[in-house]
Amino acid sequence: MTTELSTNTTPARGLALATFDDAFRFASMVAKSDFAPKDFKGKPESCLLAIQHGSEVGLSPMQSLQSIAVINGRPTIWGDAALALVMGSPVCEHVSEGIDGEGEQMAAICVAKRRGYEKATVVRFSVADAKKAGLWGKSGPWTQYPKRMLQLRARGFALRDAFPDVLKGLVTAEEAQDYPTPVVPPQPVTVRQAKPETVATKDVIDDPMARARLAVSRAATIEILDSLRTHVDRRVADGTFTEAQKAELVDLIHHKAEMLLAEDERGQEFTHEAAEHEVTA
């Protein structure tokens, strides 16, 4: 396993994280602080992955935490950070934006010119486009700041079309927030007969800590570990776990996260997933 993080494409500013251990310690510290965005609070594994994902497009650790977000299960970048990355790239000649028309005839325009290319990429996103996508009049930012939302949508399309190499395939968070959330039907629970020597006693089955330890050991992805961490916090709040038990489970989760990241680098696949009911029952 290599301990080197991917190399930034821009000169590092501030703290430079050279190894995996450095990055994880930093992510753990941020997750406990008020600097962590709401979705990353108390989740060092998510902080670490955001830092790594941001470093691959040239963001510093703190910029990554503020600019990378997971929307509907997909990593994204906020529109202003995407524009900053593009404008700071040597392949960008210029980016200009504007609003044309008023009322129902209004349209946002983004012109992105790549250095060395004869023609610029021009994207218009109009009220008619927003209506067709079911966005116009939608509660939230589309009602409160319609011009800004039109601008961000035109910007996202133009930057992705003109500079896919700079953004590394990331979509803007504003665009991803407007995607419909997929409805995942509940999966049937299959009960498998365990081997006689591994059948748990009734005391273990009824012990929330035993179920939690088992769930962590079976976790197959970082996302599952994040979910388990959230449920552990809830179980502390309702009195099921003590703070000492929480600390034990958090240490187990961190250790399993390191194992998953190490195995992922070697390309191995995991065949077991932890069921949420193992810690919430």
176-187 tens-digit pLDDT: 888 776 656 666
Residue 13, pLDDT > 70, answer no
* Predicted confidence (pLDDT) at residue 279 exceeds the cutoff of 60: no
Least confident of 17-26, 43-52, 193-202, 270-279: 270-279
Percent of the chain topping pLDDT 70: 79
What pLDDT score does 186 carry? 67
Averaging pLDDT over each range in 61-70, 121-130, 170-179, which range is the top one? 121-130
Q: Where are the domains of the chain?
A: 89-164, 200-280
pLDDT score for 211? 83
Q: What is the rounded average pLDDT for all residues in the chain?
A: 81
pLDDT tops 80 at residue 162: yes
**pLDDT value for 106:** 95
Residue 5: its pLDDT value, please?
A: 40
Check residue 223 and give its pLDDT.
Answer: 85
pLDDT band at 109 (very low <50, low <70, confident <90, very high): very high
Sequence-distant (≥ 6) Cβ neighbours of residue 78 within 8 angstroms = 66, 67, 69, 172, 173, 174
Residue 150: pLDDT band by 50, 70, 90 thresholds? Answer: very high
> What pLDDT is stored for residue 39 in this prediction?
83
pLDDT at 201: 47
Supply φ then ψ for residue 137, to 5 degrees: 85, 0
79 within 8 A of 155, measured Cβ to Cβ: yes
In this prediction, residue 278 carries a pLDDT of 46
pLDDT in tens, 233-248: 888 888 888 888 888 8
In this model, does residue 252 exceed pLDDT 90? no
* Torsion angles phi and psi, residue 263, rounded to 5: -65, -35
Mean pLDDT of 263-279: 50
Residues forming a β-bridge with 100: 107
Long-range contacts of 79-83 (CB under 8 A, 24+ apart): 79/152, 79/155, 79/156, 79/172, 79/173, 79/174, 82/155, 82/156, 82/159, 82/167, 82/170, 82/172, 83/155, 83/159
Q: Is the pTM of this model over 0.75?
A: no
